[in-house]
A and B are shown apart, each in its own frame.
Chain A
């Protein structure tokens, strides 16, 4: 009765629940018997689960190739109250299968990488027993993300949305006792969760509004009725889309809710790669692409989305120039690239946005993973050189340098990823970024300028990073003694590098495979065009950026003590960028200053102590007290005398007799 009939579904499509249940089995196996398998075993179980999920996605993609229309595979009837009917159904269409392939494919590679990375990381941090837990959480993330992308209705999407938020929290705070003052990681995890919550609030309001006006939450149901509603009351559609945008800014780290992503780098590097580069943060972009019919009906919302994306792109790119931590540079780069994607889908170029999502997943994951390889190389150098762990920060780029000779494989893959990110033809990033720029050039010149400037800055900071990390002389003993990472780490890197280099074929101008593939689902997408001058200009900007970076950073080396040459040249700009234009301080002052008389802080205080503790807890204990008093009051009935019990029996007989006689 719970499981719905799916007899009409082509049997291949009914495989889609397996994509989720295989990682669930991975979780259960690792949870229950994982410790016995040892590190290799539990890592392999998790990677295998994700890998099988990838194979399921491939099978679905092949099946979809011959039958490109969307298919809905229902699984379980979930909520059925009155007219509110939500079931857990899987939607297999080109868009969701694309996301599934990315999530499970890149996820599998990162799992394999993590087998090697976490092996060293748990030893570096001193708790080898925690290895198993990592893979449980990792698989849990894959499950949640797949639920998100295969959902057939907004509520299941929200379930996945929340699930990935939870896994993000669990994994950022994986070393919860480490970090600044022993609390830093936990604080970062909490920050991620809370900021995401603000976004989730927006998404929830959008879902409520949708249910109120449409009576259904399935994608098909909503989109059918949306155009009718847009004629009657366009404000509703605008409200829905703007609230969705709030959710997107939270999950995909756009302005103004970007601030959790840089701190999320406190988590282990595979986490940063998978969650905060390739998949979770792209959920926002997926949401907008999925809700394309809604956004198309609200041009104002589209404009807002585009501006948010473009401003975030330039804002984050600027900040990335001033960061010294190798992962923070990449974090801000992610925010910036997400801004690109959000701007793209805001402009109606959904395919361009998705294309960039896919290629960005490749090279950003690659960059993060190679950064992890670099960090571990430096750590190995630290340990072999006899330095204590706290002496230098292995993630600070100012302590690196000259690693090209010491870690050649890592160098080449990092270079591939960086060039792809910067947009050097013919790597993947060039094509995807170029489509977005082309769309921008036709939409609005202001947006184009912002995005082009961000492209220039992207090339610049990536060049800066490469020169600081790999070229020049080693600036510390640790960097001098760094060694290459083992094969289990470098192999996924090489695969990802290949994908970054060749990924452009997905949507080459003129061939447009991805576009025709996605057009079955997203009908309103702006077709991708190849505008020659845009392409040429972006290529030139990219090369220019790298060249200037070489000029400033390549020739000299920078010690932690010396001042960054950029700071010398434009001190105030550098200073502002480094502090994110004091945006975080603004938030902090506005909202969270608990010890001042900030209304938010004191309200939170009141709710926690005054209300929750005193009122609600008292109600609970009062109920318990009532029960206890009733029990005490009735205890006189059990006086131990048989005669009393016989009397009760007689009373019962009389009563039953009476009932029978009525």
Chain B
């Protein structure tokens, strides 16, 4: 108990953020409207970013907000708006999937629980919040000295992503028609 009381502030912070994260995840899962799902996901990202902060990774936390919540989710919202998607009509043909998936999900959770229980005693329980080891300077030093190769490769990946995304879209403007001709009225393919 004394340990519990000692850790109470941390526990509270963690608890709040955890509940927030899970709740927003569930909200994303269950929301009918795609925009609501995106917004829930943004909330989830922010709560996880604060968790990162609590865990002593300020750079990653802010990168999470900037990149994930700030760029990626914005991209998602753009696409949602572009496609004008509403909640999809009709009943799914695979309704039984949900139950089966929930089953497997629960199984996965149980397994994670089992794993956690078996390693319960193997880790140091506490650590002080310290940012000494993870300040941006040391991160940058490590990134450019030890991990130069992955860094460069990541930049290549980003380049490829850009080129790929553009080339996928670009064709339409050049040729003036999509790769598979569509009959406007019926939506069927036409030769």
Contact = CB atoms under 8 A, between A and B. Distances in A.
Interface of A: 641, 643-644, 647, 650-651, 653-654, 657-658, 661
Which 9 A-B pairs rank lowest in CB-CB distance, beginning with the nearest?
A: A657-B111, A654-B107, A650-B104, A654-B104, A654-B108, A651-B104, A661-B114, A647-B101, A643-B97
Interface string B93-117: 1100100110011011001001100
Contacts of A644: 94, 97
Contacts of B100: 647
A644 B92 CA distance: 12
A654 B114 CA distance: 13
28 contacts: A641-B93, A641-B94, A643-B94, A643-B97, A644-B94, A644-B97, A647-B97, A647-B100, A647-B101, A647-B104, A650-B101, A650-B104, A650-B105, A650-B108, A651-B104, A653-B108, A654-B104, A654-B107, A654-B108, A654-B111, A657-B108, A657-B111, A658-B107, A658-B111, A661-B111, A661-B114, A661-B115, A661-B118
Contacts of A654: 104, 107-108, 111
Contacts of A641: 93-94
Contacts of B108: 650, 653-654, 657
A116 to B, nearest CB: 68
Contacts of A647: 97, 100-101, 104
A647 B118 CA distance: 27
Nearest to B93: A641
A644 to B, nearest CB: 7
Contacts of A658: 107, 111
Contacts of A650: 101, 104-105, 108
Contacts of B118: 661
A364 B3 CA distance: 112
A657 B112 CA distance: 9
A638 B111 CA distance: 28
B102 to A, nearest CB: 11
Interface residues of B, number: 13
A657 B161 CA distance: 32
A506 to B, nearest CB: 85
Given A644-B97, A658-B107, 20 more contacts: A641-B93, A641-B94, A643-B97, A644-B94, A647-B97, A647-B100, A647-B101, A647-B104, A650-B101, A650-B105, A650-B108, A651-B104, A653-B108, A654-B107, A654-B108, A654-B111, A658-B111, A661-B114, A661-B115, A661-B118
A644 B96 CA distance: 10
Contacts of B111: 654, 657-658, 661
A654 B101 CA distance: 11
Nearest to A641: B94
Interface of B: 93-94, 97, 100-101, 104-105, 107-108, 111, 114-115, 118
A644 B100 CA distance: 10
A657 B118 CA distance: 14
A657 B114 CA distance: 11
A653 to B, nearest CB: 7
Nearest to B92: A643
Contacts of B94: 641, 643-644
A657 to B, nearest CB: 5
Contacts of A653: 108
A429 to B, nearest CB: 88
Contacts of B97: 643-644, 647
Nearest to A639: B94
B82 to A, nearest CB: 22
Contacts of B101: 647, 650
A75 B9 CA distance: 84
Contacts of B104: 647, 650-651, 654
Nearest to A646: B101
Nearest to B100: A647
Nearest to B101: A647
A647 B92 CA distance: 15
A654 B103 CA distance: 11
Nearest to B112: A657
A650 B107 CA distance: 10
B191 to A, nearest CB: 22
Contacts of B115: 661
Contacts of B105: 650
A643 B88 CA distance: 16
A642 to B, nearest CB: 11
B84 to A, nearest CB: 22
A647 B94 CA distance: 11
Contacts of A643: 94, 97
B94 to A, nearest CB: 6
A187 B134 CA distance: 94
Contacts of B93: 641
A4 to B, nearest CB: 54
Contacts of A651: 104
Contacts of A661: 111, 114-115, 118
Nearest to A657: B111
A230 B181 CA distance: 92
A169 B114 CA distance: 73
A658 B93 CA distance: 30
A653 B108 CA distance: 8
A643 B107 CA distance: 18
Nearest to B107: A654
A653 B111 CA distance: 11
A657 B109 CA distance: 11
A658 B100 CA distance: 17
B12 to A, nearest CB: 32
A644 B98 CA distance: 10
A651 to B, nearest CB: 6
A641 B97 CA distance: 11
A657 B107 CA distance: 10
A622 B119 CA distance: 53
A658 B107 CA distance: 9
A649 to B, nearest CB: 10
B90 to A, nearest CB: 15
